Amino acid sequence: MKLLLAVVQSRDADACVDALVAAGHQCTRLASLGGFLDQGNTTLFTAVDDGEVEATLALLGSKARQRNQVLQALLPGSDAPGAALAPPMDVEVGGATVFVLDVARMERL
């Protein structure tokens, strides 16, 4: 048995949870924060049999989409009001970061 911890953008969380439940998996979701842009994420916990890991990763990958977002940041050392902004740049965000952990024992009580 494996425990999958999937960190996805919050905007993709509902689609990921719906897909996991439709595939017969139970999952727990926790709000989380982090990443390069320090935006809201959701961490999903789900336990799957060893043989279901690849299919579950593919399922999450199909629902947790990567997208481009425009980032406009302050130039270093210019944190005062009216400070200079760096030129806008496109950054790729989204997708999923998934940790696959061995589970020695799991109980549903």
CA 20 to chain centre: 14
Tally of domains within the chain:
1
Query: If pLDDT is split at 50, 70 and 90, which confidence band does 80 have?
Result: low
Whether residue 107 lies inside any domain: the answer is no
| Coil vs helix vs strand at 64 | coil
Range of the domain at 25: 2-76+83-102
Quick one: how far is CA 106 from the chain centroid?
24
End-to-end CA distance of the chain: 17
Does 88 fall in a domain? yes
Residues 44-55 pLDDT 10s: 999 999 999 999
In a domain, 109, yes or no: no
Mean per-residue pLDDT, 23-35 = 87
Question: How far is CA 7 from each of CA 17, 34, 80, 84, rounded to the nearest angstrom?
Answer: 12, 10, 34, 33
**70 located within any domain:** yes
Q: Is the dihedral of CA 63, 32, 67, 99 positive or negative?
A: negative
- Residue 108 belongs to a domain: no
**Is the model more confident about 25 or about 88?**
25
Does the pLDDT at position 77 exceed 60?
A: no
The pLDDT of 77-92, averaged and rounded, is 61
pLDDT confidence band for 9 (50 / 70 / 90): confident
Q: Give the CATH number of the domain where residue 56 resides.
A: 3.30.70.120
pLDDT at residue 25 in the model: 95
